[in-house]
Amino acid sequence: MSRFQLLSDAQWSMIADMLPRPTGRKGRPFADARTMVEAIIYRYRTGIAWRDLPEVFGPWQTVWTWHRRMAAEGTWDRVLERLTAAADEAGQIDWTVSVDSTIARAHQHATNISRHTGGWIELHESADPTPDPAPEPAGSRTA
């Protein structure tokens, strides 16, 4: 077990049966599920890159693969549902929602869109500064 114990035994017991188990097939040794979950939690709590995971969790590639597979299979969604239901049943979640209708206007320089003050003509002028000659009206030519 890693020195980073992020889950209590009670928390672990709530989700342990939802995680992958050894299949019994020969090949690489099966990574400890609790260590993998602890590593994933550690990575998200600290905000570090996968490559910066401490070595105590094992190869970062293994942790990343576990996370990716569990996300693709919907395991994390099921874990969230179970934990949310348990917390709601215990009265630990307050479902009251507060909505504020105040408008906070940003300063004009807070946008990432460049501002052109010259108007439409400045934006659409051709590279040639000389204007095109005006066409002559029909029938005004003299021979």
Q: What is the pLDDT of residues 59-95, one digit of tens each?
A: 999 999 999 999 999 999 999 999 999 999 999 988 8
Angle at 90 between CA 85 and CA 93, to 5 degrees: 70
Q: How far is CA 89 from CA 84, 93, 110, in A?
A: 8, 8, 44
Query: From CA 40, how far away is CA 56, in angstroms rounded?
Result: 13
- Listed by start position, the domains of the chain span 31-89
User: What pLDDT is attached to residue 20?
Assistant: 84
Residue 107's pLDDT band, with cuts at 50, 70 and 90, is confident
Residue 73's H or E segment, with its range, is: helix 60-73
- What's the whole-model pTM score? 0.61
User: What pLDDT is attached to residue 99?
Assistant: 74
pLDDT at 26 over 90: no
Contact in structure between 66 and 53 (CB atoms under 8 Å): no
Query: From CA 137, how far away is CA 27, in angstroms rounded?
Result: 87
Query: From CA 19, how far away is CA 42, in angstroms rounded?
Result: 17
Contact in structure between 79 and 7 (CB atoms under 8 Å): no
Contact in structure between 72 and 5 (CB atoms under 8 Å): no
User: What pLDDT is attached to residue 102?
Assistant: 77
Weakest mean pLDDT among 2-11, 15-24, 36-45, 113-122 = 113-122
Query: From CA 110, how far away is CA 141, in angstroms rounded?
Result: 57
pLDDT at 120 over 60: no
pLDDT at 1 over 50: no
